Structure 1
Amino acid sequence: MGDSDSFAERLGRRRFLRLSGAAGAAGLAGCAGQDELQGETETDGDSGGGSGGSGGSGSDTETDGGDSGGGESIKVGAVIPFSGDLADFGGPMLNAMKMAQEDINAAGGPLGREIEIVDEDSGTDSTQAVNAANKLVNTNGVQSVIGAVSSGVTISIANSVTIPNGILQITSASSSPSITTLDDDDLVWRTRTNDRFVAKVMAMIAQNEDASSAAVVYINNDFGKALADTFESAFEGETTAKVGYSSGQSSYNQVLSQAFADDPEFVALAGYPESGTTMLSQWNEQGYGGNWILHTSLLSSDVIENVGADIMNGMYGVRTKPPTGDATDAFVSDYEEQFPDAQVFSPYSWNSYDALVSYALAVQAAGTADPAEVKAQMRPVSNPEGETVSYGEFESAISMLEEGTEIDYSGPSGTVNYDENGDVASDMVIVSVEDGQFTDQETIPADELI
């Protein structure tokens, strides 16, 4: 192929060939006998389904009064990072939840009750986060928790607090495939796409650049390990090394030495902004070759600013594709107006908005804030085939539910269609660093990655 071909053009040809091959295989499968196909089951896909927060710190455990308008507020806990390696995300996520809270309460709230957010700092640390979640459940009386960001922290909260206590939990940022397989009694949900998608696209980028070798550097937790394994499975070339690391180190020279020992053409980095910034800076200082493919969590303008735009020029990244509809544009505009000095950290911001709204709609449909009843309504209010409701239409959605009309909520993050595991699927977008900005290159539809 010619050097003048763009990344998107090269990727388009590869996708065409791959999809043509898949179509051919599907055609052959269609010739198989019906008896051979009846035993097949689909394992993935959409099958139907400081903190300074706005919440209070009430000490009484809520007694849910069912469908009684004008009752006590419905307390929603938020365990998100305002400190630690993921501190960049906490503020924008809480801002988005406040926007959702304001929209919900302005419409009268679910069951005529206001939503009250009680937030705690996860510290990007499992022990601190579990303690925070226990406080929210046992002292503040929340019946739902939004959080966390780190997949390992989210899983710790789920296994130690929310699942044992029958509390509904929604994460708007954690992406490890390990969350999908939790034995959670349908209590753990997420509005953020599973990292299997991200890892597959990271491998696709290396292959599209005709790389025959690549390494993976990953933070040594549930999120990083699962992504590294999926990348290795998806990458058609040789994965020369998978190197785990701990955050908070002053030097990552040993990690870099292991990762670049066999001169991989690309290194996929699954990490967080603080440690990632240090690692990329030291990579440049030590004069290692190759190029980087960055996980969504590193696609921050702060990372470019701290590492240097000239150093990061030409690096690739993967993130979920923001919807192109009016809901996303309106949300971003409203966010920037309400929080002019705060970053909209997509997708965490708009996914946090949708997490709270989808929960509030499920409470309305359930007629109670009891998690055992609410969890059964999470899919019906957000999945097809109901009447479509979107950003800024909470009041209309409540009216429809009161009239017995089924609804299908979609918001700033797109369709919020929860599958049988409580996951959502999103299109992915490949980006590259150009002139100090992450610039979109190509969109990969979710149905190509399932």
Structure 2
Amino acid sequence: MSSGDRFVEELKRRRFLRAAGLAGVAGLAGCVGQEAVQEEGGGSGGDGGDSGGGGGSGDDETTEEMDDTETEEMSSEPVDVGVVIPFSGDLSDFGGPMMNALRMAQKDINEAGGPLGRELKLHDEDSGTDSTQGVNAANKLVDTNDVSAVIGAVSSGVTISIAKSVTIPNSVLHITSASSSPSISTLDDDDLVFRTRTNDRFVAKVMAKIIEDEGVEKASVIYINNDFGEALADTFESSFSGTTTTTVGYESGQSSYQQVLAKAFEDDPGFVAFAGYPESGTTMLSQWAEEGYGGNWVLHTSLLSEDVIDNVGADVMNGMYGVRTQPPSGGATESFVSDYQSAYPDAQVFDPYSWNSYDALVSYALAVQKAGSTDASEVKNAMREVSNSPGEAVSYTEFGAGVEKIDAGTDIDYSGPSGNVNYDDNGDVASDMVIVQVADGEFENQDTIPADELV
């Protein structure tokens, strides 16, 4: 039997079970009129809808709502999800590991029967770490592939451009598992934009704390000239209790960053807080070492790639600090990492973007199941219902269990490899942060800062 046939058979089974349940209700009702039985039928495909006051037009409306929901649930068409992430450009280090994690989530979802018993398909496009290319890619996914949701991008500037130009105007649900600019929280998005990646306000505050704890009173900031970099520089400056000697923006893709470095170090800061990307970051850190500027660095999460250490040199980077989100130390994260390494033995697990990507897709698929529809106006309301407390716990590789609980009318609370996926009013999540330091060519955890200390 083909995978498509299996999906259809599973749908028929669920429809039969629902119909059998409704028949039982009707039999027990006895003296209840036919109109009441119809109201029970109207609720079988989801939330049902308000019944009319007994008039014919009210019955027609309820029947139409039931038919629409049942049609969506009985469809054998796949649930199409678009992915716009960087396979080229300054953030290309992250595209492969993120796509690997999304494939893992897709496999777990489909092996359990898929959302609404439908196969979930991924359509991926390269953002090129470029807003224009990212918007063009997202337009293709929406217009040609008719996706019901978009996951992406990594660069906050690209994500914001896609949201403003594509997903919000077209009422398409949008989840980013990597973009962290505070500007995303304030988008006029009609509650369509969610993210499984912590807001950069947390990161900037921890970067300031690291420098303060080192007893350093002067620091500068180097940031990439986009929404992500500018927002982090502003938050760092307002959070740092010492003196921010200067903030210097830069453009990626340059062969030399000597002018940027000279300006950042002109007042002899003890530390530089660096919000950049791996490709340009590798060049800048290498030139800093070559010119002997001195001082030390605190690196944003986006620079915590093993490739950066390999390309700059462990001897150069030893002692540098960094900040990243801290997943739980429990079984979900450990199992994910083990499964990832088995499936992709030659690829690094770039945390947190890999496990955040897994959770983005699973939380979306559970929300589709809860909504009984892929319509973004319905799914957005279900995103918090399946991921926030209260509810019975659903964890990594437990999509099938989550579907069974949803179908039984049980509230669920999904958490996965990235930890609790609790979407707040802005569609954001809050994670504990971990301070890392480069030692012997590796990023080693030093201390964890609870999220509630940073809110």
When normalised by structure 2's length, the TM-score is 0.84
In structure 2, relative to structure 1, the CA distance for the partners of 1:402 and 1:229 (3 Å cut) is: same
In structure 2, relative to structure 1, the CA distance for the partners of 1:369 and 1:256 (3 Å cut) is: same
Give me the whole-angstrom Cα distance separating, in 2, the residues matched to 1:442 and 1:240. 27
Amino acid at match of 2:336: F
Give me the whole-angstrom Cα distance separating, in 1, the residues matched to 2:113 and 2:154. 30
Check the 8 A contact 2:69/2:372 in 1, yes or no. no
Gap runs ≥5 in structure 1: 1-62
Amino acid at match of 2:244: T
Check the 8 A contact 1:66/1:367 in 2, yes or no. no
The equivalent position to 2:111 in structure 1, one of 106, 113, 129, is 106
CA RMSD of aligned residues (A): 1.0
Map Cα deviations across residues 140-170 of structure 1 (whole Å, 9 max, x no partner).
1001000000000000000000000000000
| Residue in structure 1 matched with residue 148 of structure 2 by the alignment | 143
| Residue in structure 1 matched with residue 259 of structure 2 by the alignment | 254
Structure 2 residue matching 1:88: 3-state secondary structure? helix
Check the 8 A contact 1:66/1:369 in 2, yes or no. no
Amino acid at match of 1:426: S
Cα shift at 1:64: 9.0
Give me the whole-angstrom Cα distance separating, in 2, the residues matched to 1:367 and 1:71. 14
Does 1:210 pair with 2:215?
yes
Listed as ranges, the matches of 1:9-88 within 5 Å are 66-69=71-74, 71-88=76-93
Give me the whole-angstrom Cα distance separating, in 1, the residues matched to 2:377 and 2:402. 22
Listed as ranges, the matches of 1:327-338 within 5 Å are 327-338=332-343
Structure 1 residue matching 2:73: 3-state secondary structure? coil
Cα shift at 1:68: 2.2
Give me the whole-angstrom Cα distance separating, in 1, the residues matched to 2:258 and 2:100. 37
Give me the whole-angstrom Cα distance separating, in 2, the residues matched to 1:446 and 1:193. 10
Q: Which one has a bigger Cα radius of gyration?
A: 2
Check the 8 A contact 1:277/1:307 in 2, yes or no. yes
Give me the whole-angstrom Cα distance separating, in 1, the residues matched to 2:306 and 2:149. 32
Give me the whole-angstrom Cα distance separating, in 2, the residues matched to 1:305 and 1:180. 34
Amino acid at match of 2:124: D
* Percent identity of equivalent pairs: 73
Give me the whole-angstrom Cα distance separating, in 2, the residues matched to 1:402 and 1:283. 58
Give me the whole-angstrom Cα distance separating, in 2, the residues matched to 1:198 and 1:363. 31
Map Cα deviations across residues 354-375 of structure 1 (whole Å, 9 max, x no partner).
0000000000000000011000
Gap runs ≥5 in structure 2: 1-67
Structure 1 residue matching 2:287: 3-state secondary structure? helix
- Larger helix proportion of the pair: 2
Give me the whole-angstrom Cα distance separating, in 2, the residues matched to 1:332 and 1:66. 38
Does 1:371 pair with 2:373?
no
Structure 2 residue matching 1:433: 3-state secondary structure? strand
Structure 2 residue matching 1:68: 3-state secondary structure? helix
| Residue in structure 2 matched with residue 228 of structure 1 by the alignment | 233
| Residue in structure 2 matched with residue 348 of structure 1 by the alignment | 353
Check the 8 A contact 1:64/1:370 in 2, yes or no. no
Amino acid at match of 2:453: E
Structure 1 residue matching 2:413: 3-state secondary structure? strand
Check the 8 A contact 2:206/2:323 in 1, yes or no. yes
Structure 1 residue matching 2:393: 3-state secondary structure? strand
Give me the whole-angstrom Cα distance separating, in 2, the residues matched to 1:401 and 1:267. 49
| Residue in structure 2 matched with residue 295 of structure 1 by the alignment | 300
| Residue in structure 2 matched with residue 429 of structure 1 by the alignment | 434
Amino acid at match of 1:383: N
Give me the whole-angstrom Cα distance separating, in 2, the residues matched to 1:129 and 1:312. 32
Map Cα deviations across residues 55-75 of structure 1 (whole Å, 9 max, x no partner).
xxxxxxxx9975424520000
Give me the whole-angstrom Cα distance separating, in 2, the residues matched to 1:141 and 1:301. 36
Cα shift at 1:347: 0.3
Runs of 4+ in 1 over 3 A off after TM superposition: 63-67
